[in-house]
Structure 1
């Protein structure tokens, strides 16, 4: 489903990723760990097509992301991928239910019941009419997780998905992530510093300057 081929990226003359190659198996839940600044978030952005590599290719279902125009790349992200990023990207002018339901609406398949179910699954039942300004950072993270999962993506990309959660809530959210992706047969790549989070993955990879290897 996903393959990295000699992927390279630099910023300001500094190599962040160099000649990185790896094949991810369909339906596999992978945790990626590594020191700060080694390029974990950059890797997710390249996989998603939100940033372009300086060299190499990201292949999704055998198709190079670099070969897609902006519209095609946007459609691929919207229909096939889910994102949980550290900055949340929850829209302040939409209610929680509207935020979670947005991927379904953009894909032409509105389903308020599914959106409400996902809010309940992340512990926010009955809060659908609330707005992001009424939530804590941890609650905003849970909204972002519900939104990423609501349309049952084929590939979930998660950047520190429990970074703003207390240990008990984090454990519940991680089990939800695993249950949802296993039920749908989705693949998932989760960047994390948490060994407890990584322990729930099928496989743990360590990203270093020399590439990805089993932890």
Structure 2
């Protein structure tokens, strides 16, 4: 029996003010599957990604990556798992301004002790050929998001988490970025979750789920 790439079992999370955002959430992501998660603001979409990435801890329940419960890992083990198996794409890019594009993209390779030449290959793949020595201040928003995608995928992670990856982009650039993201995820054989408010963005995934207070549900056919 194939082990899920990701499994959430009865996950619960409340904010500091006591407001519950996730209640008994169950979810399975199969290897190679690309899922989009939509829902109203404040329902807990970004919180869910943070829990999956181990950046936050559920109040109850378990998150498993490749069958391993991340809550049982030491800090060092959790850090190693994120470096090796996860790729995270943020809406705000989080590109480091004092590093060149090649250094930004190559950071996961450096942390994993891997060959840095793939950083240049990934810049080529995202349409930034010859820009490795440039700095983020020289790029447009769409180009910065391409750098962020290249960095998230450069080490061939098995699980990609994308939080509103096109939220700051114009429609044409968003389309290009979404096509690139899907192509890279599929070519690497990765599993992926994209949180988005955009139905057009969500439509590029294999399936769409809606997060509500009742949990994750399939998008109604009428939508």
The residue aligned with 2:132 is: 128
TM-score normalized by the length of structure 2: 0.92
Q: Deviations for 1:49-95, whole angstroms, at most 9, x for unmatched residues?
A: 00000010101111111000100000000000100012222112110
The residue aligned with 1:95 is: 100
Q: Does structure 1 residue 147 correspond to structure 2 residue 135?
A: no
SS at match of 2:209: strand
CA distance in 1, matches of 2:189, 2:127: 23
Shift of 1:109: 0.8
CA distance in 1, matches of 2:121, 2:180: 12
The residue aligned with 2:19 is: 14
Q: Does structure 1 residue 107 correspond to structure 2 residue 123?
A: no
Q: Deviations for 1:134-168, whole angstroms, at most 9, x for unmatched residues?
A: 22333222211110011111000000111122222
Provide runs of 4+ in structure 1 moved above 4 Å: none
Structure 1 window deviating more from structure 2 (84-93 vs 194-203): it is 84-93
CA RMSD of the aligned region, Å? 1.1
CA distance in 1, matches of 2:30, 2:81: 19
1:48 to 53, 76, 79: 53
2:89 to 74, 78, 84: 84
1:23 to 10, 15, 28: 28
2:8 to 4, 7, 11: 4
Q: What is the count of residue pairs matched by the alignment? A: 214
TM-score normalized by the length of structure 1: 0.96
CA distance in 1, matches of 2:27, 2:120: 37
2:67 to 56, 62, 69: 62
Shift of 1:201: 0.5
Residue ranges of structure 2 left out of the alignment (5+ in a row): none
The residue aligned with 2:171 is: 167
CA distance in 1, matches of 2:116, 2:141: 26
Shift of 1:123: 2.5
CA distance in 2, matches of 1:100, 1:62: 29
Residue ranges of structure 1 left out of the alignment (5+ in a row): none
